[in-house]
Amino acid sequence: MKIMSVFGTRPEAIKMCPLVKEIEKQHDMESIVCLSGQHREMLIPILELFEIKVNHNLDIMRPKQTLTTITADILTRIEDVLIKERPEIVLVHGDTTTSFVAALAAFYQKIPVGHVEAGLRSGDKFSPYPEEMNRTLTTRIAELHFAPTENNKSNLLKEGITEGITVTGNTVMDAFHTTLKENYEFQNELLKTKDLTKGRWILLTAHRRENLGKPLEQICEAVKQIVKNNKDVNVVYPVHPNPAVRETVENILKNQERVYLTEPFDVQDMHNLMRRSYLVLTDSGGLQEEAPSCGVPVLVLRTETERPEAVQAGTVRIIGVETEDIVRETEVLLHNKTAYEQMAMAVNPYGDGKASCYIVEALRKWGQETLG
């Protein structure tokens, strides 16, 4: 069975590489990797770490790309690749524009689609934007749905999807086998030189489209106040290369004492830093899955989440994007030991780290039933 995995952004790569490695191990499967190129330099260290052989790269990234240019460029360029390779199935991941457009392009060629990380829903089509719509539309197209949790499966059932669902856990837990290390030595110059056991370290990431502009300004103002009020607190912020993010962040936070703005970390540095952080402030989806399993509290800089599992378990809290809310909620965790300890327990609703194996098994079963 020829299986083509299509991905293009950082989180897709982190979560698809363990699956690609698993497919490569199978004697009855052929793995083809097609990058959309939606992200460029942020993908390189991930592909190197997992030693992924790339067969096709659509190389679409341009500065300040819009949803329209990403969509049009992928749709146009992937057609030839699908026709040339003619895989039995195309695998896409999650909710990016790469995922949705690759699924649509496969549908146009009547090639079945398997959706990894299926069934996440916030219930608001504009938040996260455009991800909620991307994943909902991908569900309509897909034949196979690999849902990380039972809750994700029930979201699919509510939408009338009754066949092809397998609950697998999240492949990010599989990625941890490669990235997390007990006596890890950091690669990044800043992390090499700082003593992370001195003071308290907050890891911050913020880049979502719906937070660009005023919300991101409010987040940065909150960070300024938090470090001003708390002299033992350091904030590390690996800044997304999007110029719209960089402009705001540098305007407000550049040269602030104990605020370290850096280039994005490679995923090994990132996961090992996260594990050693006091808390995580983020608008990222992936960090809401990763930090809880390391026992690190997460305050989410959004007004909703499609990942309610760790919220229910008590290790993730949604705090929005107002400056005073961010300062107040962060300071509760800095000053109230009981509140901190209640959130700092290790919780892992995302499986046993073998999601890739379960996906491969489901693919094999599907292949035997439909292809003979």
Catalytic residues: 95, 117, 131, 207, 209, 240
Which partner in ligand UDP, ligand UD1, none is near 40 (CB below 5 to 8 A by kind)? ligand UD1
Least CB distance to ligand UD1 at residue 61 (A): 6
152 binds ligand UD1 (CB under 6 A): no
Q: Is the distance from CB of 89 to CB of 64 less than 8 angstroms?
A: no
Which partner in ligand UDP, ligand UD1, none is near 65 (CB below 5 to 8 A by kind)? ligand UD1
Question: By the criterion CB under 6 A, which residues form the site for ligand UDP?
Answer: 10-11, 14, 205, 238, 264-265, 267, 270-271, 284-287, 290
Which partner in ligand UDP, ligand UD1, none is near 64 (CB below 5 to 8 A by kind)? ligand UD1
Segment contacting ligand UD1 by CB under 6 A, of 89-97, 162-170, 231-239, 288-296: 89-97
* Choice from 41, 79, 80, 324 touching ligand UD1 (CB under 6 A): 41
63 binds ligand UD1 (CB under 6 A): yes
Which partner in ligand UDP, ligand UD1, none is near 355 (CB below 5 to 8 A by kind)? none
Which partner in ligand UD1, ligand UDP, none is near 287 (CB below 5 to 8 A by kind)? ligand UDP
* DSSP-based three-state secondary structure for 35: strand
Secondary-structure percent of the chain, ordered helix, strand, coil, rounded to 5 = 50, 15, 35
CA dist 272 → 166, 177, 315, 318, 346 (Å): 30, 12, 18, 24, 15
* Identity of residue 6: V
Please name every residue paired with 57 in a beta bridge, in sequence order, or none if there are none.
35
* Identity of residue 171: T
For the four alpha carbons of 250, 45, 301 and 186, in that order, the dihedral sign comes to negative
Q: Is the distance from CB of 222 to CB of 319 less than 8 angstroms?
A: no
Of residues 267 and 298, the one with the C-beta less far from ligand UDP: 267
* Choice from 15, 39, 271, 307 touching ligand UD1 (CB under 6 A): 39
Structural tokens at position 169: 């856990």
330 binds ligand UD1 (CB under 6 A): no
56 binds ligand UD1 (CB under 6 A): no
* DSSP-based three-state secondary structure for 2: strand
Q: Is the distance from CB of 71 to CB of 200 less than 8 angstroms?
A: no
- Rounded Cα–Cα distance for residues 224 and 235 (Å): 10
96 binds ligand UD1 (CB under 6 A): yes
The residue among 354, 6, 17, 361 whose CA lies nearest residue 166 is: 361
Of residues 64 and 110, the one with the C-beta less far from ligand UD1: 64
Query: What does the binding site for ligand UD1 look like in residue numbers (CB under 6 A)?
Result: 9-11, 38-42, 63-65, 67, 70, 95-97, 130-131, 207, 209, 241-243
